[in-house]
Amino acid sequence: MTNSNSVAAISRDDFGTAFAKARPGKRVAGRIQVGSFASGIEISIPFLILKGARPGPCMWVNGHVHGTEINGTWAALDFFRRLDPAELSGAVIVTPTANPLAMDARRKTAPQDEQDLDQTFPGNRKGLVSDQLSAALFEQVSAHADLLVSLHTMGPLFVSEPYGVYKVHPESTVSEEHLLRLLRHFHPAVACRMSVTPGAGELPGNVPGAIDYQMLARGKPAFMVELGFGNSTDPAFIEQGALGLIGVAAESGILPKPARAPAASLKRVTRRTHVMTSAGGLFRARVGAAVEVAAGDAIGEIVSIYGEVLTEVSLPGNIFTIGVRRDPVVHTGDRCAFVALEWDDYDVR
Ligand SMILES: [Zn+2]
């Protein structure tokens, strides 16, 4: 990297010193040590630091927590590359991947423990390897960042347009309006207020263990952006992500102005659900992502291996599609769509 000071892998206890020592205008690249493989090869989290000419807040961008969600890594790197330190007030830290074990294995989760990393925050230094990764990251994020953007994509089996996801923490000082004011810079298809209550139509697991929710609990603005789908590089979605990050930096006083005007209004989703298949077969979608579908109209159909339509997939109420399955092979209980059930238009002031 040109104009950068590379630092060797550092102990997680030394990150604070490395951050304090980073000179304004110099890009610093390094790695936070977490552990090692049997062969001795290091397990570590790569990071980039850039401080501006003037003091200000620290924005942390995490490229991905799920190893296949590469558009987020690209968007974080493209954003970082474009930063002009002369214009910067404060600092930007990028972790291109928080889950190197999963990325290197081309999987969502680390094969060593199969944990969803984004359900393990704030982490555990004595836990399974994913717990140790999340602890190493979160100790530094919570100590140094004033706000966090956690980038994701949908899984590789779906198509979707970029959208935002945020949670509301009951005891946090961060308001929903503040999060939507930041999110509008991404021009998301929808901004989903995700419930952390078990059984709310989300996937099972420890939803409060998401890094953004743990930051909200500490009074710091944090949210997720989903930039398309996994195992893929999509230039338009990556650019949408990079421009959104510039907008968030501008909204937070780190950059002088956004690269483009933010969305004036957001489609705020307050209830959503996965749509599971009843029968196995081949799913053929009839609609794309980010479209409204009237009550009873089919999202798609499931066709038997003999070519007959086994069932049409529809819902009793109006829906807005967030993601639609593109991989046709489905078994009973597989997800064929991810849809909004309730939404409104939210004007950001
Ligand atoms: Zn993800």
Give residue-wise pLDDT tens across range 61-106. Answer: 999 999 999 999 999 999 999 999 999 999 999 999 999 999 999 9
Q: How far is the CA of 346 from the centre of ligand 1 (A)?
A: 25
Q: How far is the CA of 153 from the centre of ligand 1 (A)?
A: 5
Q: How far apart are the CA of 24 and the centre of ligand 1, in A? A: 32
Phi, psi at 280, each rounded to 5°:
-80, 160
pLDDT reading at 3 higher than 90: no
Cα–Cα distance measured from residue 150 to residue 115, given in angstroms and rounded to the nearest whole number: 18
Mean pLDDT on 281-299: 98
CA of 213 to the centre of ligand 1 (A): 14
Distance of CA 199 to the CA centre of its chain: 22
Q: 123: left (phi > 0), else alpha (psi -120 to 50), else beta?
A: left
Whole-number Å distance, alpha carbon 26 to ligand 1 midpoint, is: 31
Confidence of residue 326 (pLDDT cuts 50, 70, 90): very high
Task: Calculate mean pLDDT across residues 199-225.
Answer: 90
64 CA distance to ligand 1 middle (Å): 7
Q: How far is the CA of 163 from the centre of ligand 1 (A)?
A: 12
Residue 7 has a pLDDT of 67
Residues of the chain with CATH 2.40.50.100: 272-347
The per-residue pLDDT for 13 is 85
pLDDT band at 24 (very low <50, low <70, confident <90, very high): very high
The model's pLDDT over 107-144, given as tens digits with 9 standing for 90+, comes to 999 999 999 999 999 999 999 999 999 999 999 999 99
pLDDT at 1: 47
CATH architecture of 4-263: 3-Layer(aba) Sandwich (3.40)
The residues near 245 (Cβ < 8 Å, ≥ 6 apart) are: 61, 75, 76, 79, 149, 185
pLDDT band at 147 (very low <50, low <70, confident <90, very high): very high
Mean pLDDT of the region 237-254? 98
Which regions of the chain carry the CATH code 3.40.630.10? Answer: 4-263
- The CATH T-level fold of domain 272-347 is OB fold (Dihydrolipoamide Acetyltransferase, E2P) (2.40.50)
Alpha-carbon span 288 to 281, nearest angstrom? 20
Please provide the average confidence, as pLDDT, over all residues in the chain.
95
